[in-house]
Amino acid sequence: MSIHKESVKRVTTHVLSEMKLKGEKISMLTSYDYSMATIVDRAGIDVILVGDSASNVMAGHETTLPITLDQMIYHGASVVRAVQRALVVVDLPFGTYQGNSKEALNSSIRIMKEASADAVKLEGGSEVLESVNRILSAGIPVMGHLGLTPQSIHKFGTYAVRAKEEEEAKKLLEDAKLLEEAGCFAIVLEKVPATLAKKVAESVTIPIIGIGAGNGVDGQVLVIHDMLGITQEFSPRFLRRYHNLFAEIKGAVETYIGDVKSKDFPNEREQY
C-alpha cells in the first residue's frame, strides 16, 4: 500500500527512506507563508521546502543571495505553524555555512530552535562537507543540493544545465556519495541530465529529489509560484504550470476595482 495512502500522521526522514525502498515517488513543493503552507499541507504534500527562492518570488530579488538568515527563520516559522503532516525543510541562505562550519552549526541551530523546522538544506558537495558533518553532529537532519546551485550563480555565470561533461558528472556522483556517507537524509538534484540523475538515484540509498533532473529520481520539487502560474517570466523546460493564477487573480482584482468604481460594492446585503 502507498505510504501516502496510509495517512501518515507526520512525514519524517524515516518515512522518506521507506518511500524510496517501496519505489513510491516523493512530492515536494516550496511554501513561504502560513496561508499557502496550510493549503499545500492539507493537499497531502510529503515535503515542504522553505526555499531561499523566497528571495526571488517573495522579495523580488534577481538572485537568492540577498535573503538573510533572520528572513529565512521568519518564513520557516510561518510555514511550520500551518503544517500538520509534511516534513518542513528550511534552506540555509548564502553566507551562513560556506567556509565556516561553526557558523553553519549556529545557523542551523537557530533555524531548528526559532523556526521549529524538521531539517535544513544546503548547497554543495565536498566543498561544504565539514559544515555538513558539524551540523549532523548536533543531530540536525541535512538535505543536500547538487547540480545547479543557485547560490553559486556568480561562479557559474549561467543557469544552464550542469554536469553535461564527464568530469563534472563524475564529481557530482562522488559528491552525492559523500553526502550520503556523511549522513544526509536526501539530496536535491537541480538541472542535470536525466541519465545522470537516474544513475545517482540508483547509486545511493537516500532519496534523490529532482528539479529539472528527469523522472528517474525518487521525487520531484517545484517552486509553488512557478507551478501555479503566479510568476510568468520564468519558463524553463522542466516547469509544468498547473494553473494560471496570475490571470485569475488579476481578473478578480480588476472586477473588484470595477465594482468599487461603479458603486456596486458593497451592495445592501453587504453593509450593516
Rounded Cα–Cα distance for residues 231 and 151 (Å) = 20
Neighbours of 151 (CB within 10 A): 22
Q: Read off the amino acid at residue 216.
A: G
| Marked catalytic residue, from 123, 130, 190, 270 | 190
List the beta strands (DSSP E) in 111-270: 119-121, 142-147, 186-190, 208-211, 219-222
Rounded Cα–Cα distance for residues 10 and 204 (Å) = 24
Contact 52, 72 (CB under 8 A): yes
Asked if 180 is an active-site residue, the reply is no
Contact 33, 80 (CB under 8 A): no
> What is the total residue count of the chain?
272
Cis before 266 (ω within 30) = yes
Q: What share of the chain is helix, strand, coil (3-state, %, to 5)?
A: 45, 15, 40
Residue with cell 551562513: 96
DSSP state of 161: P
Backbone angles phi, psi at 142, to 5 degrees: -125, 130
Residues sharing a CB contact under 8 Å with residue 135, sequence separation 6 or more, in sequence order? 97, 104, 105, 108, 120, 122, 142
Residues annotated as catalytic (active site), given as ranges: 190
